[in-house]
Amino acid sequence: RMQTVQNITEGMEIISKILDFQNPESGNFPVYLHQYPNCQDRYASVHLLAPLYWVVKGFQKVLGKELEEKITASMKKVLAMGLPARMLVA
């Protein structure tokens, strides 16, 4: 159980650090961290929606309110960025 707790704590720290690299204007993530805040791939953040959703759904009780809200806000930024781009393609 101690190893599971350590793994979950480490995972929460990594997710929190990754969310800090989200571009506040576009809601996108850089492919490589040294490129921050430039985001070359428009759909890098769209590919992260499913894993972020399943993290929130599966670990909601463990995440804590602060990290859950941070992930949810990040997902909303991605959706706001991705929906207008999708409408241009269709």
Q: What is the pLDDT of residues 11-44, one digit of tens each?
A: 889 989 888 888 877 778 887 778 777 777 777 7
Q: 73 pLDDT exceeds 50? A: yes
Residue with tokens 């707790």: 5
pLDDT band at 83 (very low <50, low <70, confident <90, very high): low
Provide DSSP, 19-73. HTTS-TTT----SSGGGTT----TTHHHHTHHHHHHHHHHSHHHH-HHHHHHHHH
Q: How many residues does the chain have?
A: 90
Q: What is the pLDDT of residue 90?
A: 47
H or E stretch covering 87: helix 65-89
Q: What is the pLDDT of residue 7?
A: 87
Task: Tell me the pTM.
Answer: 0.75
Do 72 and 66 meet the contact criterion of CB atoms below 8 Å apart? Answer: no
**CA trace torsion 83, 24, 53, 31 (10° rounding):** 90
pLDDT band at 9 (very low <50, low <70, confident <90, very high): confident
